Amino acid sequence: MSEIKHNPSVAGSAQRFDLHKTVVLVGMMGAGKTAVGRALAARLGVPFLDSDAEIESAANMTIPEIFARDGEAFFRTKESQVIGRLLDEKKGILSTGGGAFLSDANRQMISDRGVSIWLRADLEVLWNRVRHKDTRPLLRTDDPYGTLRALYETRVPIYAQADLVADSDGETAIEDMVDRVLAALVTRPDVLERN
């Protein structure tokens, strides 16, 4: 796994890049996958894809409604199907739900058809970002912080299997996070090349 925290030489929108594989953003809820993914896609001039948004659109329901009606196992099956379809579409930036990368099959599919990059943030950063939102079905518990901590401790070793890492310290602006992701991606010319 390559870890690059920041490299100003890849910063700025004046540079041009060729994307050869779909970049799949993975990590905990609150890591910034959607916000960073949208900005990264805009910087690269490629489509932004969001597996959760695609699932909601297909089901005509929100993720919390799907969890409540059909359960997490049903949701995870649909999530895998959607990720597979999105990986087969035009190359772009794909934001996935926090649990998507936990599946061995999903990790293999992502590795075979794209590249994964973990947006790594510590527990306190994540908690500060999610604690005031009620859109996280897994945190609808009597102790949401304890639940988040347990998820974090379970998931971090799995996220560590990602191809690349970009660190988020909670103070970093979105455009600076895009620079960090680009710095990691250019270490993989099979994925992203300057032109």
Better-scored residue on pLDDT, 118 or 3 = 118
Report whether pLDDT(102) > 70. yes
pLDDT at 10: 46
What's the 3-state SS for the chain? CEECCCCHHHCCCCCCEEECCEEEEECCCCCCHHHHHHHHHHHHCCCEEEHHHHHHHHHCCCHHHHHHHHHHHHHHHHHHHHHHHHHHCCCCEEECCCCHHHCHHHHHHHHHHEEEEEEECCHHHHHHHHCCCCCCHHHCCCCHHHHHHHHHHHHHHHHCCCCEEEECCCCCCHHHHHHHHHHHHCCCCCCEEEC
CA distance 40 to 90: 16
pLDDT at 23: 97
Domains (ranges, CATH) in the chain? Answer: 2-6+15-194 (3.40.50.300)
What percentage of the chain exceeds 70 in pLDDT?
89
